[in-house]
Amino acid sequence: MPNDTINNAIKKASGATDTSNYEEITYEGYGTNGVAVIVEASTDNRNRTAADVRHVFDKAGGNLGTTGCVSYLFNKKGIIVIDKESTNMEEDDLMMLALDAGAEDFSSDENCYEITTAPADFSSVRDALEEAGLEFVEAEVQMVPTTYVSLSEADGEKMQRLIDNLEDLDDVMNVYHNWEQ
């Protein structure tokens, strides 16, 4: 065996050369009772990841669909969540700050404020809020469902198992669904 082959094998095994080429892939499918599911993965082996995702869907009673089968049920939005207790800013002042920075929507509930942005405006809105000294519970661009599906308790358990098993896969980065919990 030539020395070059031996040296290349040693380098590859020790991690000296990084031959990994990661690509981002989006899988779409249906969970229990037609709940739409989008799975975002980053992988160096497309076939392994597709088989793993398909296996989880089959095992949980769902099915993997084709590209575009559920994506039309979601909109890509920037979501920023701020805990009410982490700020002493008045709600109206915070809303005006967010809207002036380019936010699309502002909502409030008992515990937090939620600011929605277009993906292109997300960074500028987040930066403006950070400059004002605000801390975020959550700040990311995600797929937001346009409609929701309600499930019975038994079906909800199946759906939760599907989501948990998908999130446990090493290559899976995000799992989005339109299940109303």
pLDDT in tens, 106-154: 999 889 999 999 999 999 999 999 999 999 999 999 999 999 999 999 9
pLDDT in tens, 20-43: 688 999 999 999 889 999 999 999
Model-level pTM? 0.80
138 lies in the same domain as 79: yes
Does 89 fall in a domain?
yes
Q: Residue 13: is its pLDDT beyond 80?
A: no
Domain count within the chain: 2
CATH number of the domain within which 46 lies: 3.30.70.980
Domain span holding position 102: 74-144
102 lies in the same domain as 52: no
131 lies in the same domain as 163: no
pLDDT band at 16 (very low <50, low <70, confident <90, very high): low
65 lies in the same domain as 95: no
80 lies in the same domain as 123: yes
Does 15 fall in a domain?
no
Does 96 fall in a domain?
yes
Q: Is the dihedral of CA 86, 92, 98, 103 positive or negative?
A: positive
80 Cβ neighbours under 8 A, 6+ residues apart: 98, 114, 115, 117, 122, 125, 126, 129, 136, 138, 139
Report, in angstroms and rounded to the nearest whole number, the Rg of the chain calculated over CA atoms.
Answer: 21
pLDDT at position 22, please? 86
pLDDT at position 21, please? 82
93 lies in the same domain as 120: yes
pLDDT in tens, 44-101: 889 999 999 999 999 988 899 998 999 999 999 999 999 988 888 899 999 999 999 9
pLDDT band at 12 (very low <50, low <70, confident <90, very high): low
If phi > 0 it is left, if psi is from -120 to 50 it is alpha, else beta; for residue 155 that is alpha
150 lies in the same domain as 62: yes
60 lies in the same domain as 116: no
